[in-house]
């Protein structure tokens, strides 16, 4: 017997062993030497993704996370009386990913439920409430709208509570954002005007109110499809907030969720699955997020959708400056709001009509360059023509941008009667208006019989505004009076008032 040790430095190759006896007879034995593959073991942190705070009967609670590959995760759920509700054992895959759905049946008792999730070494606790029914319901007036029509939704929600509405077009761009307090009836209507040039395809409406979220699909000139999109329930968050992310796509689609900081470094990632309806509401715990601006990205292969949010930005100590291109708009037109202030600060914007009523509110922020993150307001279709205001507030700082909303039929020319005061010495009528530039306008007042009883020329301010306080004649005729304004190009507009 002969024993030999092969050197550890021997390369993988064929080795020939030759045996020779005293008579010089030889025998050759060939062997192949191969490298020994060493098995590498590794561990993965045990994690559980965030879940919603509330669920409704007939919904499913989805648990997911990571653990050691090919290991076991045990979920034990108890109700508010500490009685066992459900137990489930899940096998992690070869990459350490695991997930499980827990169905909330239609007869599930209401109350708080607690899940203890363990891999045998680590335990994570999650809690949620099973509540009676949704209060937020939104339906489109039809599934397919035509160009030039209003895309219209009717909804009900919790009365006297703020609701945040966002509409996303087929390219994933936000085209409408409304943030308002629902009236005491709980009913509301959302309208979005379309044009022949509007993008054809699927529009997605997101609605967020307190812990409830609803997502609705509609089509413009085509039947709606499930498209990849995402929106958050807010813009500016605090470190102890839970951000709610709405996500849509194909039914039961597997997606990657990434959170990137303002340097495009990955802060958070998760593998998620959309529901059988092509929707997912994802709660994101911001406790571990430092102050900054972040982008949420959901992706599948080469397709992706994104939205932007901030964490713990402070109020501005510097003045806020608007940088607007236009100052005259029509009903249904979008206002692209831009400006500058202290970098990395939070700002609230308010859209205020001529009567001082806040029509819309939006959160935004100033980025690291000092530029206001671009925000869009949609001027509603209304008879409230005149001077509107966009008000920016950040801490103790505020700034107003005044602009005109004019009728589509009288571009650049507007007049209204803003006040009528009756005193013992007569009636005083305040007439206000504007034109596109500084000039002289002619104001004519006709009585109820059509007779001209007053006419004057007024020089406007440098931005085209004018006003007139008119004292009625001592013996005036009761009825409807008309005010006619004529500019230097002989264009006219008019309004009426009653005395």
Ramachandran category for residue 412: left, alpha or beta (phi over 0 → left; psi -120 to 50 → alpha): left
**CB-based contact 268:258 (threshold 8 Å):** yes
State residue 228's pLDDT score.
Answer: 92
> If we measure between CA atoms, which residue out of 221, 243, 222, 218 comes closest to residue 233?
243
Could you give phi then psi for residue 271, rounded to 5 degrees? Answer: -95, 125
User: What is residue 60's DSSP assignment?
Assistant: E
For the chain, how are helix, strand and coil distributed in percent, rounded to 5?
A: 0, 55, 45
- Per-position b or e across 170-183, b if 16+ CB within 10 A of its CB: bebeebbbbbeebe
Domains of the chain: 47-131 (2.60.40.10), 139-311 (2.60.40.1930), 314-405 (2.60.40.1930), 413-498 (2.60.40.1930)
The pTM (predicted TM-score) of the whole model is 0.68
Which string of DSSP letters, residue by residue, matches 168-237?
Answer: E-TTS-EEEEEEEE--TT-EEEEEEE--TTSPPEEEEEEEEETTEEEEEEEEESS------EEEES-SEE
Pairing relationship of beta strands 314-315 and 345-352 according to DSSP bridges: parallel
Cα–Cα distance between 485 and 460 in angstroms, integer?
12
In terms of C-beta density within 10 A (0-12 exposed, 13-18 middle, 19 or more buried), how is residue 56 classed? middle
Rg (CA), the chain: 34
User: What is residue 45's DSSP assignment?
Assistant: -
State residue 22's pLDDT score.
Answer: 67
What is the chain's length? Answer: 499
Cα–Cα distance between 149 and 9 in angstroms, integer?
79
- Mapping DSSP to helix (H, G, I), strand (E, B) and coil, where does residue 416 land? strand
**CB-based contact 366:344 (threshold 8 Å):** yes
Residue at token pair 């459900």:
86
State residue 420's pLDDT score.
Answer: 84
CA dihedral 340, 342, 345, 351 (to 10 degrees): -30
State residue 141's pLDDT score.
Answer: 95
- Per-position b or e across 188-214, b if 16+ CB within 10 A of its CB: bebbbbbeeebeeebbbbbbbbebbbb
pLDDT in tens, the chain (499 residues): 566 666 666 666 666 667 676 667 776 666 666 665 555 556 788 999 888 888 888 788 889 999 999 899 999 999 988 898 889 999 999 889 999 888 888 888 889 999 999 998 999 999 999 887 778 999 999 999 998 889 999 999 999 999 999 999 998 888 999 999 999 999 999 999 887 778 899 999 999 998 889 999 999 999 999 899 999 999 999 999 999 999 999 988 889 999 999 999 999 999 888 888 889 999 999 999 999 999 999 998 888 999 999 999 999 999 999 988 777 787 877 888 999 999 999 999 999 998 899 999 999 999 999 999 988 898 887 767 888 999 999 999 999 999 888 775 556 677 888 788 888 778 888 888 888 778 899 999 999 888 899 999 999 888 788 889 988 887 788 888 899 998 888 888 888 888 8
């Amino acid at each position: 017997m002969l024993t030999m040790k092969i050197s550890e430095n021997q390369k993988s190759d064929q080795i020939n062993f030759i045996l020779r006896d005293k008579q010089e007879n030889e025998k050759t034995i060939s062997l192949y030497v191969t490298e020994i593959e060493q098995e590498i073991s590794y561990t993965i942190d045990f994690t559980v993704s965030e879940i919603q705070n509330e669920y409704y009967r007939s919904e499913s609670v989805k648990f997911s996370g990571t653990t050691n590959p090919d290991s076991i995760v045990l979920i034990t759920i108890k109700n508010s009386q500490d009685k066992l509700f459900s137990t489930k054992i899940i096998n992690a895959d070869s990459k350490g990913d695991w997930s499980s759905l827990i169905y909330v049946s239609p007869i599930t008792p209401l109350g708080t439920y607690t899940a203890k999730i363990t891999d045998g070494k680590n335990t994570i606790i999650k809690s949620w409430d099973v509540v009676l029914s949704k209060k937020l319901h939104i339906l489109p007036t039809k599934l397919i709208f035509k160009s030039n029509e209003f895309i219209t939704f009717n909804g009900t929600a919790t009365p006297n509570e703020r609701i945040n509405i966002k509409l996303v077009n087929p390219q994933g761009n936000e085209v409408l954002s409304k943030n308002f307090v629902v009236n005491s009836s709980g009913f509301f209507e959302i309208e979005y005007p379309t044009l022949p040039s509007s993008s054809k395809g699927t529009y997605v409406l997101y609605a967020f109110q307190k812990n409830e979220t609803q997502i609705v699909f509609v089509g413009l000139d085509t039947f709606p499809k499930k498209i990849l999109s995402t929106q958050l329930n807010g813009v500016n968050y605090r470190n102890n907030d839970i951000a709610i992310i709405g996500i849509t796509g194909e039914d039961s689609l597997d997606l990657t969720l990434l959170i990137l900081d303002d340097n495009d470094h990955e802060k958070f990632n998760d593998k998620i699955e959309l529901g059988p309806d092509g929707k997912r509401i994802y709660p994101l715990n911001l406790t571990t997020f430092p102050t900054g601006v972040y982008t949420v990205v959901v992706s599948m292969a080469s397709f992706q959708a994104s939205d932007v949010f901030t964490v713990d930005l402070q109020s501005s100590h510097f003045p806020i400056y608007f940088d607007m291109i236009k100052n005259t708009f029509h009903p249904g037109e979008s206002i692209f709001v831009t400006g500058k202030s202290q970098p990395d600060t939070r700002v609230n914007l308010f859209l205020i009509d001529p009567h001082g009523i806040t029509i819309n509110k939006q959160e935004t922020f100033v980025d690291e360059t000092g530029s206001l993150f671009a925000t869009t307001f949609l001027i509603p279709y209304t008879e409230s023509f005149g001077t509107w205001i966009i008000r920016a507030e950040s801490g103790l700082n505020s700034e107003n941008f005044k602009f005109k909303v004019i009728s589509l039929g009288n571009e650049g020319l507007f007049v209204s009667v803003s006040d009528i005061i009756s005193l013992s010495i007569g009636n005083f009528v305040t007439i206000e208006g504007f034109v596109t530039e500084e000039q002289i306008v002619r104001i004519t007042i006709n009585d109820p019989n059509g007779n001209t009883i007053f006419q004057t020329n007024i020089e406007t301010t440098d931005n085209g505004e004018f006003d007139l306080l008119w004292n009625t004649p001592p013996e005036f005729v009761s009825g409807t009076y008309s005010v006619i304004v004529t500019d230097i190009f002989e264009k006219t507009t008019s309004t009426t008032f009653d005395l």
